[in-house]
Structure 1
């Protein structure tokens, strides 16, 4: 795909050069962005736009569920929370209830903030190891 839009080139480059940890962070941020878009559209009475945005958030949650590394014991707990988030998004979309979107966003925000800390700790460790060489 050839694009002349510098912003699209930047986005594409950011995705293709990111680590798996950074990609997961992007997924969390994208999910939160789509939940906010859905809430905004609902507040404006634009049900079609709300539905599209919430379905995009659901697709991201599904991707997070499918790519979850189940070799760790904590994965089962994360999977349960992802399923809960997905159910809140579905129910909120059906019932047009922004409070359900808020519940989903709160959990995704916690995951995102924790994931950000993990990435920062790993970077600190990597730089410490490099400086020892």
Structure 2
């Protein structure tokens, strides 16, 4: 088996077996990575190399938007507004090749990523302390219920 096939299998298995909370934090981690890479390429003047990273970041935001249950918690509508803003800004940053817009998006996403990591850790700690049946699952179809998305 070649390295690429092994790596692909490992990544597929990791995603397939990850908890909803872990999947959410993985999406945020990758979003920050894509924005960092895009900003670096834009600052180097390589819009062509930045484009795929920005497009992937937009795909992640679209996924986050589609899984967010705006009725699950008080801040969900505001989070959807942030996602909508970010999506619009990333499209503009890609079209204009503007590293400052990309950096501003990254700076907005990083604290969100950190907050979701903390929430996921708290959900994990709580689930190890309480019986499974006592955890509240917010609205959704089995997605990221514990974190109010899904």
Global fold match (TM > 0.5): yes
TM-score of the aligned structures, taking structure 1 as reference length: 0.87
Deviation at 1:10, TM superposition (A): 1.7
Structure 2: runs of 5 or more not aligned: 132-150
RMSD: 1.7
CA distance, structure 1, for counterparts of residue 55 and residue 128 of structure 2: 39
Deviations 1:31-75 (A, max 9, x none): 111111111221222211111110110111111111101222311
Q: CA deviation at 1:15?
A: 0.1
Deviation at 1:6, TM superposition (A): 2.6
* Length, aligned pairs only: 128
CA distance in 2, matches of 1:41, 1:57: 14
Structure possessing the higher relative contact order (Cα contacts under 8 Å, 6 or more residues apart): 2
Which of the two has greater helix per residue?
Answer: 1
Runs of 4+ in 1 over 4 A off after TM superposition: none
State whether residues 65 and 82 of structure 1, in contact with CA within 8 Å, keep that contact through their aligned partners in structure 2: yes
Counterpart in 2 of 1:92? Answer: 93
Q: TM-score, normalised by structure 2?
A: 0.78
CA distance in 1, matches of 2:130, 2:23: 23
